[in-house]
Amino acid sequence: MIANAVRLPARRITRPLFSGVAGVVVAALVMVVAPMPALATTGVAEPSLVAVQAPAFTVPDTSVPVVETLLGRGGPLGLDATGGVTLGDAREGHEAALVRITALEPVADVTVLTGATGAPVLFGPASHTTSTVVLLPIADGAVSLWSDHETPIRVEVLAYFGGSLASPGATKAVAEPVRRADTSIGLGATSLGRGELWIGLTGEGGVPSTGVRSAYVTLDVTLAESDQLQLSDGQSIDLPAGRSVVTTVVTLDEQGGIHANLRGATEAISFTADVHGWVVEAPLDARNANLVGSYVSTTELNGRLPVQLRAGAKGTPLHLADSRDASHALVLVEGSAMSAPSAATTVQHGEIPTGRATGAAVDSSRGVVPQLALVPVAEEYGSFSLRQGAIELTVQPLGSFLGDASRERDQEPELTIDSHRDGDDVDISATGFFTLSGSAIPGANSIDRIEMYAFVDPAVTLDPQVDLDAPVGADGSRHIGNAQLSYDDNHVTWSFDAAAPTDGTYTYSARLIHRGDPGSQYVAQSVELHVNVAAPGEEVVSPDARVMNMESVEFAVDPADERKVIFGEDPQLLPDDILVGGATAATPEGFLGRVSAINNVNGSWIIDTVEVQIEELIFQADIDETIDYVDGQGQDGEPIVVTSAEETTADPESLYSGTYAVADDQGVFGEDVDLETVEAAPFAPGDPGAELFTGEDVDLDLGLDDFEQQIQDDVQLQCITLEDDPQEPRGPDIDEDGNWVTPDGDSVPGGDPCVQQLRAELNRTWSVGTDATLLLEVKNGKLLVKDQSNKPEQTQVAEKKSAFGNKFGIAVKASGQASATLKFKLDVKFKFAFKPSNAVKVQEFMVKVETDLKAQASLSMYVETNWKLDLTKKLGEVNLPTLTFMIGVVPIVILNDFEIALSIDAGIKAQVDFPVIGVSRHDEFGFTYSSGEGIKRIKNPGKTTFVNSFAQEVDDQTQVKLSGWISVGPEVTFNSRIYKFAGPAMSLGAGAGIRAELKTKVDETSPVKAKIEIFLGGGLKGKAKLTLLRWELLNVTIFKIEWETVLWSGEWDVKKAKPGQ
Amino acid sequence: MGKRDQFPVLTARKCIVGVIGALYALLILPFVSSPAFAADTLPDAPAGTVQIWVDVESASAKRSLNQISLGQAASWHDVAAIETPFGRSGVFAAQTGPVNLRFAISGALTADVSVTYVDAGGLVLSEVLLRQVSITPSLAGPGGWIAWGDISAAPGENGDARPLDPARANLVSTGSDLSVWLVLVGAGGLLGGAMLLVLRVRRPDLVSGAPGDSNVTKGEGA
């Protein structure tokens, strides 16, 4: 037990910020080497572990090279990216190959390349023999290899690989090499010199962000003079003056990359780094971390081993592998020039050479260029031999491939817990879990797994319903999972995200089981911790959240890629961190993303991110907010910004869309034609098509004062509620695809009358008003939409008469107002037992919009043949101020905006005026989601007011004709987004419509009568593109409905035209 | 104590020493004291052989080796030796059965000579390596050819005949006689070990230290 316990933050301690604390001397914990209680006797049931499969690692039987052009085996490499080399039969069932390529005294400098992009893998100077070893993907039985000119070549396969992401230690080749450093474009750095540059290696081109044990990297370096390249994983590579292409295998730092520098004072003339492959790390809770065929990075053997090789002398056994279960070591070799001029030869594996000369090429004057070698080992040792002459070979062990476990027990493994000390208080009330971590030293065998156990203080009362996911063994232990391993150049570290079901004292124990004793022995360490967990009402967010851009701007979003953010300095972010940005000038919409790749480009740190599921970020929160922009303002007085549609585009014609069709003499319509002829209105900045109203100007209920005085006597207003009207779709009647399923039963259409005492504007402090005047006419046989909004009235009348003279014209004057309120509810709760799990439940997630719309229009029509058309003109954009909720330290940034459009829908043949049609209406729509019940639609109609108008002759010359229907009204598309990426988009249209048919006149003197229906044409479309909130409702169509509610039907007398028309 | 007095050095430790001696004879002696691989024992081509690759590796081979000729089925197939960075080589179509080789040179050379038996898939069925073979004009016979049987590896160099893949025992049987040779040497080694024990019994004076001392390190070289 340690006095003066250090309290550590719950954040995982491997972050550099905490590394100093993490490195504190390991507590005097009890180390146990004890027989492992057999599971059958202790009754410790296993937790749900991740099943794993052994990776494929096959060293083919000794063969002659697959290509040896000088001896007529195989052809020369192709000279473009279509070039490939077919491998031997042993390739079957494998996905990648480790291949040695030898350029045999080319007549001119040659570069061997791979992949469509031509990534270099070998540089062979003229007149020298140069070999290298590279990892290549197998496609259609071949590997991609080509050269910049034809040259004698030898290609040998050293090993084949296969395996999935569930194969710990599997070697994977990427389909195309991934360039991660290129000083010519500033990627990684602008130069390679004495100062360290950092190269990100993960997260791009198929290499995952995390779970990478090692990476295969090819470095292309050109130096003015010889120097030594140093890598932060401990490798150092001697390079001659001129160009060198070197492939090696590196272990990665926490950021998923590696530092590189030159030892001398020179700067490289050029430098690139390509990732060719990677090694799979065992996932968290993997049943085994290493199996036969796994590649294990070396942690105990570091540095350069020099060895003198002389033809005829037996090779000295060298210590090349960490453990006795290694069958082959992967090493980096480089060798001096030969002591005397000679023919080229090879370095072979084993104490004495056998067979013909194969292996790393030894050029008489250039020696062995740095390259990988796969060396058979026994009991951790392997040896090299030389066929001709003498050289000094330098060997750097990098890792080993595992064979069968050794029964040798002379070396016990070791284990430490570094993250916490006995007696520490651990507060996870705001974070949900904490990370236990430590280091491990394999013994005679590699690590099979590190099991994690929890012992619960008897005083703690557990809830049997939720806390028993890890059953209790006879010794009181609960096997709560298996730790994740991480290999660096000096250590194997392990980590495990742990939690506790309730406040109390717990003992967490780590047990290391090595491959030689997979079921009987373990080495253990324990730590007793006092854990404080979150109370039910507390807000809990993941400790992986990294909150920035709150008080000051730390990063900006790449304008070309909304998933990419740019830092001026190394933000010390780690792959898989959740980056959360507040709403600032640089990120006005906030930011949310999980770090996937990190690059340094010209001194800036470019972070690629991917989407985050909200339950990964928020474990517990309860937000219930009504977002109403009082007096047209948001938080901090930020105003609603209304922009006329014309101001949002340089192409005003793009604001119009629609289709039309014309019927023949028989009344049969032809095909729909896209609207393509538009004459946009001349833009007048001082005369907006959409503007913000506040205070007294807010007028959302249709009233007599909305109409010109001279017609007020002719109109009647009616108010009805439609809550029980079967003509109106409701949320529960809408199916999974968003379609309205009409309920069974006999229902009588028609709403109940209401009185206009609850005027909408009493509840609204702001609205957006719109105004539009359109003339539809025919020009050259096509429908032309002419926007007359900013034209003088005289011009409008003249243009209308001209259109009517051409036998087709529909003149529309429309105006209206709209306002909206958003209700947002997010109720998330979690219950972790001993580790984070998927026990985060969404109790309720709701987005509900309440709208008030008012629209009025006048129509004048001269349509001789039957036309049908569907036209929308965008009127304005309304940007509602950004809102920020805080959940713990994490800002949740919500953005809302909507667009207002005017929609005209008609199928009509008419020569008549409708001086006024209009409707105002309250609607409520949206959805609610919960983990248990999925998605439910919300759609409720509110009070509807409409005008009962009249029909009138177009003029005193034209005989009235009327057949068909027309509706005009606003369409509001509401977008709600959380950060900038996601959120439901819903659009509501509510048009006031008239369907009419002239009745046959009884005689010439009788009045012209029309049978009339006044209806509301409704449309509701909505999709939840919840790329952020990636539950089951991802990309769900919430609404896809159109409906028509008849508000009134009856008969009108057609009035005479007023003088002057 | 009569028997014990009669054989004072036959203790458990000395038995171990004897076994070590036997193992030494079995495993080590063949490599340090055997003559070079006898050139006249060029193995037959094993079943499945479709090619034989001959590599003569050294700078002098590059200079002086002109032709390589493979003899099978009572006929010789001559090829011009192809220059490679390692020396000179020839690749021959071949079949199962006895094989003979001969060389034509323009001057003396010393080289590693390897003979590789290859199947249709490129798999090496068997291979022979003679280290540091001297091939001189004086060895030339009729037509200027130097027969395989007339060349040999230099003393002290490692000769090796390596059958591959013990699982393919039927193929190995047509290759070198290494396994038989090992058995013989092993048997000899065991016999040597046994003799060593006997020698210890009969000549305790060869053992350093006092009678009965189990330190027999000097006796291991016997």
- Alpha-carbon distances of A755 from A661, A704, A721, A726, A947, rounded to whole Å: 41, 14, 10, 21, 14
pLDDT at A754 over 50: yes
The dihedral sign for the CA sequence A885, A887, A889, A892: negative
Instruction: For chain B, positions 177-216, list CB contacts with chain A under 8 A.
Output: none
Portion 39-58 of B in contact with A at CB < 8 A? 53, 55, 57-58
Does the distance separating the beta carbons of A70 and B84 come in below 8 Å? yes
Return residues 313-372 of A near B (CB < 8 Å): 341-346, 352-357, 361, 363
Residue B150 dihedral angles phi and psi, to the nearest 5°: -95, -5
More confident residue, A622 or B211: A622
A779-830 pLDDT tens trace: 877 888 888 887 888 888 899 888 888 888 899 888 888 888 888 888 888 8
Nearest CA in chain B to A104: B85
- Kindly state whether B31 is in contact with chain A, defined as any CB-CB distance less than 8 angstroms: yes
Which of A65, A72, A354 is facing B162, going by the closest CB pair?
A354
Q: Does A66 touch chain B (CB under 8 A)?
A: yes
pLDDT at A1027: 38
Best-predicted range by mean pLDDT (A460-469, A739-748, A825-834): A825-834
Q: What are phi and psi of B198, to 5 degrees?
A: -60, -40
Q: Do A357 and B55 touch (CB under 8 A)?
A: yes
pLDDT at site B22: 41
Residue A30 pLDDT more than 70? no
Closest C-alpha to A70, from A128, A154, A145, A132: A154
Across the interface, do A356 and B131 touch by the CB < 8 Å criterion? no
A-B contacts at Cβ under 8 angstroms: 98
**Does the structure show a pLDDT above 50 at A875?**
yes
Using a CB–CB cutoff of 8 Å, tell me whether A182 touches chain B.
no
Mean pLDDT is highest, among A708-722, A1042-1056, B71-85, for: B71-85
**Partner-chain contact B124 A342, CB within 8 Å:** no
Interface contact A73-B91, CB threshold 8 A: yes
**Residue B41 pLDDT greater than 90, yes or no:** no
- Residue given tokens 């819903």 in the structure block: A986
How far apart (Å, rounded) are the C-alpha atoms in residues A56 and A162? Answer: 5
pLDDT band at A932 (very low <50, low <70, confident <90, very high): confident
Q: Are A585 and A551 in contact (CB under 8 A)?
A: no
Q: Give the pLDDT confidence score for residue B58 in this predicted structure.
A: 95
Element (H, E) at A166: none
Task: Tell me the average pLDDT across A5-15.
Answer: 30
Q: Is residue A16 over pLDDT 50? A: no
Sequence-separated (6 or more) residues with CB below 8 Å from residue A172: A95, A96, A161, A163, A206, A277, A278, A279, A280
Q: Tell me what pLDDT residue A171 has.
A: 98
**Contact flag A343-B87 (C-beta cutoff 8 Å):** yes
The pLDDT, as a whole number, for residue A373 is 98
> Nearest 5 degrees, angle CA A459-CA A465-CA A470?
70
Q: Is-contact A981 A1024, C-beta < 8 A? A: no
On the CB side of A85, CA atoms within 13 Å amount to 32
pLDDT band, residue B114 (cuts 50/70/90):
very high
**Which residues of chain B neighbour A85 with C-beta distances below 8 Å?**
none
Structure tokens at A461: 């009362």
> Pick from A119, A138, A96, A329: which is nearest to A245 by CA?
A119
Chain B nearest-CA distance from A442, in A, is 32
Whole-number pLDDT of residue A681: 63
Q: State the burial class of residue A709 (Cβ atoms within 10 Å of its Cβ: 0-12, 13-18, 19+).
A: exposed
- 0.90 exceeded by the pTM? no
Encode pLDDT of B49-69 as tens digits.
999 999 999 999 999 999 999
DSSP assignment, residue A447?
Answer: E
Q: At what angle do helices B12-27 and B178-202 cross, to 10 degrees?
A: 150
Contacts of B86 in chain A (CB under 8 A): 343-346, 357
Q: How far is A112 from chain B (nearest CA, A)?
A: 18
Token duo for residue A122: 């070998």
Tokens for A613, please give them.
Answer: 């599921």
Using the Cβ of B4 and the Cβ atoms of chain A, whether some distance falls under 8 Å is answered with no
Q: Does the pLDDT of residue A243 top 70, yes or no?
A: yes
Residue type at A217? V
Name every residue whose Cβ is closer than 8 Å to that of residue A554 and which is 6 or more positions away in sequence: A548, A567, A571
Tell me, what's the pLDDT at A647? 81
CA atoms within 13 A on the CB side of A83: 19
Residue A167 pLDDT > 80? yes
Q: Which residues of A touch B55 (CB under 8 A)?
A: 356-357
Most confidently modeled of A576-585, A629-638, A672-681? A576-585
| B-contacting residues in A 119-178 (Cβ below 8 Å) | 129
Q: Which of A521, A337, A529, A264 is nearest to A419 (CA)?
A: A529
Residue B70 has what pLDDT? 96
Q: How far is CA A65 from the centre of its chain?
A: 44
Q: Cβ A353–B62 below 8 Å, yes or no?
A: no
Name every chain B residue with its beta carbon within 8 A of the beta carbon of A71: 53, 82, 84, 89, 91
Nearest CA distance, B201 vs chain A (angstrom): 36
Chain B interface, best mutation among A58, A59, A62, by max B CB count within 10 A:
A62
Mean per-residue pLDDT over chain B, rounded: 65
CA dihedral A570, A575, A577, A583 (to 10 degrees): 50
Closest CA to A1024 of A983, A979, A974: A983
Separation of alpha carbons A54 and A295, rounded Å: 11
Averaged pLDDT of chain A: 84
Q: Does A814 or A127 have the greater pLDDT score?
A: A127
Contact with chain B for residue A105, Cβ under 8 A = yes
Cβ of residue B110 closer than 8 Å to a chain A Cβ: no
Backbone torsions φ then ψ of A106, nearest 5 degrees:
-65, 150
Interchain CB distance below 8 Å, A61 and B118: no
Is some CB atom of chain B closer than 8 A to the CB atom of A103? no
Residue A983: per-residue pLDDT? 60
Q: Is A357 within 8 Å of B57 when comparing Cβ atoms?
A: yes
Residue A748 has what pLDDT?
A: 54
Instruction: From residue A853, give the alpha-carbon distance in Å to each of A325, A611, A645.
Output: 76, 36, 19
pLDDT digits (tens, 9 = 90+) for A273-283: 999 999 999 99
Q: How far apart are the CA of B32 and the nearest CA of chain A, in angstroms?
A: 11
Q: Does B76 touch chain A (CB under 8 A)?
A: no
Of A320, A317, A309, A314, which is closest to residue A346 (Cα–Cα)? A309
Burial of B202 (0-12, 13-18, 19+ CB in 10 A): exposed
Task: Using CB atoms, pick whichever of B57, B91, B121 lies closest to residue A71.
Answer: B91
Query: Chain B residue with minimal CA distance to A62?
Result: B124
Q: Check pLDDT > 90 for residue B180.
A: no
pLDDT mean over A469-483: 76
> Does A70 contact chain B (CB < 8 Å)?
yes
pLDDT digits 0-9 by tens, A341-396: 889 999 999 999 999 999 999 999 999 999 999 999 999 999 999 989 999 999 99
Q: Which of B31, B82, B131 is the closest to A71 by Cβ?
A: B82
Nearest residue of B to residue A129, measured between CA atoms = B85
B169 at interface of A, judged by CB pairs closer than 8 A: no
Q: Is the pLDDT of residue A512 over 90?
A: yes
Identify all chain B residues contacting A356, using CB atoms and an 8 Å cutoff.
53, 55, 57, 114, 116, 127, 129
Q: How many CB atoms neighbour CB A5 within 10 A?
A: 16
- How confident is the model over B113-125, as a mean pLDDT? 96
Q: Is the pLDDT of residue A109 over 80?
A: yes
For residue A765, the 8-state DSSP code is S
- Distance separating alpha carbons of residues A556 and A565, to the nearest angstrom: 6
Q: Tens of pLDDT along A408-451?
A: 666 778 999 999 999 999 999 999 999 999 999 888 899 999 99
Highest average pLDDT, of A631-645, A857-871, B91-105, B178-192, comes from B91-105
Task: Using CB atoms, pick whichever of B82, B86, B116 lies closest to residue A345.
Answer: B86
pLDDT of A152 higher than 60:
yes
Choose among A61, A311, A387: nearest Cβ to B165. Answer: A61
Write the CB contacts of A1023 (distance below 8 Å, at least 6 apart in sequence): A984, A985, A986, A1035, A1036, A1037, A1038
Residues A174, A177: Cα–Cα separation, whole Å: 6
With a pLDDT cut of 90, the percent of chain A lying above it is 42
pLDDT of the residue at A132: 98
Find the largest Cα–Cα distance for chain A.
129
The pLDDT of B128-135, averaged and rounded, is 92
Q: Please count the other Cβ atoms lying within 10 Å of the Cβ belonging to residue A242.
A: 15
Task: Indicate the pLDDT class of residue B160, thresholds 50, 70 and 90.
Answer: very low
Chain B residue numbers with beta carbons less than 8 Å from the beta carbon of A312 are 131-132, 156-158
Judge contact between A364 and B62, C-beta under 8 A.
no
pLDDT value at residue A520: 60
Calculate how close chain A gets to B140, using CA atoms only, in Å.
25
Residue A354 C-alpha, separation from nearest chain B C-alpha, in angstroms: 6
Smallest Cα–Cα separation from A908: which of A659, A662, A658, A657? A662
Judge: B57–A343 Cβ closer than 8 Å, yes or no: yes
- Cross-chain CB nearest to B164 (options A61, A311, A346): A61
Choice among A75-79, B110-114, B150-154 with the minimum mean pLDDT: B150-154
Task: Identify the band that residue A685 occupies on the pLDDT scale cut at 50, 70 and 90.
Answer: low
Q: Is B155's Cβ below 8 Å from some Cβ in A? A: no
Residue where the block lists tokens 């606003």: A970
ipTM, two decimals, is 0.70
| Closest Cα in chain A to B166 | A61
**Predicted pLDDT of residue A726:** 82
Residues 6+ apart with CB under 8 A from A1061: A913, A953, A954, A955, A956
Whether the CB of B64 is below 8 Å from some CB of chain A: the reply is no
B164 touches chain A (CB under 8 A): yes
Residue B217: predicted pLDDT: 26
Contact A345 B84 (CB under 8 A): no
Interface contact flag, A71 B61, Cβ < 8 Å: no
| pLDDT of the residue at A763 | 74
Instruction: Give the single-character DSSP code of A553.
Output: -
| Chain B, nearest residue to A61 by Cα | B123
